[in-house]
Amino acid sequence: MRQLRREVPLIVLYGTFVRHRVYWQSGAAPQRMRFSSNEITQILVAVAALTLAFTISQLGGFYALQGGLGLAEVGLVAVASLIAVLTAFLFHELAHKAVAQRYGCFAEFRAFPMGLLLGILTAAIGFLFAAPGAVMISGPVSPRQNARISAAGPGTNFALAGVFLGLAVALSNGPPSWYVPFRIVASVGFVNLFLGGFNMVPFPPLDGSKIFAYNKPMWVAMVAILIVIGYVGWSFGVFAI
């Protein structure tokens, strides 16, 4: 196992709505995907807070909650929100982590408490804007590796969006009893497509800026995938939500 002989900057490179921060850490770079107990705790906190925020936002905010919504409706929205958070947010961050660790770097998720609180507060008035956290990367990476680590997050979102799109199209041809599963699957697919697409914007600190800087053809190809999935979803009425 390669040893890092000197301290290297631990930099916030990946995640949605994050700012550049520098930390310091030294030690051995892991050769496989690992999680510390602190990281697991922070992931659980971020997932729980985002699920709550998504649920409140989808229900129309606290004012809508006061309107006497049924428990079944709230539970259904909560389940859909959890699936959306796990696939669109958590898998996005874990993809960054997996690729970074494959290159011999330290990579751990860190939640942003104020960003999570912001998400819950904005959800209370009917829309959602959150800064849940980011994967911290420690270790030297080449521009090529940096671009690949960056592409892993939105690439995962696009793959999941394609899978959920296919499921939604299949469910749309079913009986009326399939309508609720269809809406859940379609919503999760759209959230993945939106998050992946937003992160492809070529401005720092978003993933698209690092991909565009190193490999413009890769960036164009990923945007083309985004457009194709979005167009197919719109054509079939899946993403017309």
Q: Which tens digit of pLDDT belongs to each residue from 154-189?
A: 999 999 999 999 999 999 888 988 888 998 899 899
Q: Which residues contact 120 (CB under 8 A, 6 or more apart)?
A: 49, 52, 53, 56
Sequence letter at residue 107? A
Q: Give per-residue burial for 204-236: e unless 16+ CB within 10 Å, then b.
A: ebbbbbbbbebbeebbeebbebbeebbeebeee
C-alpha to C-alpha distance for 46 and 48, rounded to whole angstroms: 6
Please indicate whether residue 108 is annotated as part of the active site: no
Reference 26, options 5, 52, 48, 47; nearest CA is: 5
First-last CA distance in the chain:
49
C-alpha to C-alpha distance for 113 and 45, rounded to whole angstroms: 9
Better-scored residue on pLDDT, 20 or 120: 120
C-alpha to C-alpha distance for 61 and 25, rounded to whole angstroms: 41
Q: Which of 2-16, 60-74, 217-231 has the lowest mean pLDDT?
A: 2-16
Active-site residue identified among 39, 73, 93, 108:
93
C-alpha to C-alpha distance for 223 and 225, rounded to whole angstroms: 5
SS3 (DSSP) at 109: strand
Query: 18-43 pLDDT, tens per residue?
Result: 333 333 344 444 456 789 999 999 99
pLDDT score, position 65? 62
Reference 111, options 128, 96, 90; nearest CA is: 90
Query: 186-211 pLDDT, tens per residue?
Result: 989 998 998 999 999 999 888 999 99
Query: 54-104 pLDDT, tens per residue?
Result: 888 888 887 666 666 777 778 888 998 999 999 999 999 999 999 999 999
pLDDT score, position 161? 96
Task: Name the phi and psi angles at 66, rounded to 5.
Answer: -75, -5
Percentage of the chain exceeding pLDDT 70: 83
